[in-house]
Amino acid sequence: MDTILQLIHKEKTRQQQTIRLIASENYVSESILTALGSFLTNKYSEGYALNRYYEGQEYIDAIELQAIQDAKTLFGAEYVNVQAYSGSPANLAVYLATLKPGDTLLGLDLSSGGHLTHGSKVSISGKWFNAISYGLHPDTMRIDYEQLEQRAHEHSPKVIISGLSAYPREIDFERIGAIAHSVGALHLADISHISGLVATGEHPHPFPHADIMTTTTHKILRGPRGALIMTNTPTLAKKIDKAVFPGIQGGPHMNNVAGIAIALQEALTPEYTDYTKQVKANTQALAEALMQKGYDLVTGGSDNHLVLVDLRSKNINGDIFSKQLMRAHIETNKNAIPFDTLGTPQKPNGIRLGTPAVTTLGMQELEMRQIAHYIDQVYQAGDSMETLNQIKTEVIEFMNQFKL
């Protein structure tokens, strides 16, 4: 049986040989890997910087304060909490700080591109709270802001959530903020998927239209698994701190916080701005190449880092196609398609593709057209293992041009 270290090495090789198109995945720098595997793993740091419950925090405090300052600079926030373990706990902390069980929240429906933590009935956000959803307009497949406003006035939510998990267009944070404040609700903007685009001006910023902003620190931000919670309202800041600790968790993972600090510093460089511009350019190139090959895309394109492929015209579901693509070393994820009454969560009729990871490796528009060609080759191959193996060999040779 393989040892854990052998399995880690095999995973590294798999990543090197695979075109990674999962929109929520990326590669971290060697500096971040060093931080994650450092002696910080040994330290318990319950509490906040300069106010801990354990001794020996001199360097820990300096790391956390640096991460906070860099996040403030990058996102234009007056308050930042860097301790949440990941995006879902960060959103849960916001709910703990602002809601009571049974209170009403309003978020983008999961099948319309929202996230589980935005009120899905299978999530704690939909079990503990009265979760109402808004969706997309059936004609445009864009967020139906009129429906959002109507439901906000009808249900009087205490929190309205904006954000996306599989929505390929810009979000009008200003309009959602105006709707929220017109009904006395707080506006929570979850920018986990687009944080890097927001930070570099490639997507409209939630502030000052959002009261609270959350983001994961992996995905397009290229950091370790963690999260940031931000606000410019001092009274909310105090509630959020108490909700994170001691509300839902104990000591922070300081190796992660150090990795987050490094990722934030990397994101403050001009090179990172160039990266986010290329992510958008690559997404548009991939979208155009797929449409030229006859693939239907939800909304007909993308404004951000992802495309959502509607496979219904191809007579194959996302579960089968994503597995066929994986046999050829092309990594994607199956995904629901809005207004699809035939698909199921286990067998949806779409796949989601994202460009952050391949862009980190240095790929540009030419490579996106090649990737679209590989995707179509896999579709044409069907169940032919011989053909899929031939494509896999080509993909591995293609990926050998780009080093982790």
- Does residue 319 carry a catalytic annotation? no
Query: What is d(CA 372, CA 367) in angstroms, rounded to the nearest whole number?
Result: 9
Residue tagged active-site, from 64, 70, 190, 288: 190
Torsion of CA 346, 347, 353, 357, to 10 degrees: 40
Query: What is the token pair recorded at 221?
Result: 């931000």
- Does residue 225 carry a catalytic annotation? yes
Residue tagged active-site, from 225, 277, 293, 327: 225
Residue tagged active-site, from 98, 215, 216, 359: 216
**149-153: long-range contacts at Cβ-Cβ below 8 A with a sequence spacing of 24 or more?**
149/179, 149/182, 151/106, 152/106, 152/179, 152/180, 152/182, 152/183, 152/185, 153/182, 153/183
Residue tagged active-site, from 25, 46, 174, 296: 46
- Does residue 44 carry a catalytic annotation? yes
CA atoms within 13 A on the CB side of 119: 30
Q: Which residues pair with 81 in a beta bridge?
A: 229
Query: What is d(CA 49, CA 392) in angstroms, rounded to the nearest whole number?
Result: 49
- Does residue 53 carry a catalytic annotation? no
Residue tagged active-site, from 219, 280, 334, 352: 219
Q: Phi and psi at residue 353, in whole multiples of 5°?
A: -125, 140
Residue tagged active-site, from 25, 27, 34, 44: 44
Taking the chain, what is the end-to-end CA distance rounded to the nearest angstrom? 27
User: Any idea which residues carry the catalytic annotation?
Assistant: 44, 46, 190, 216, 219, 225
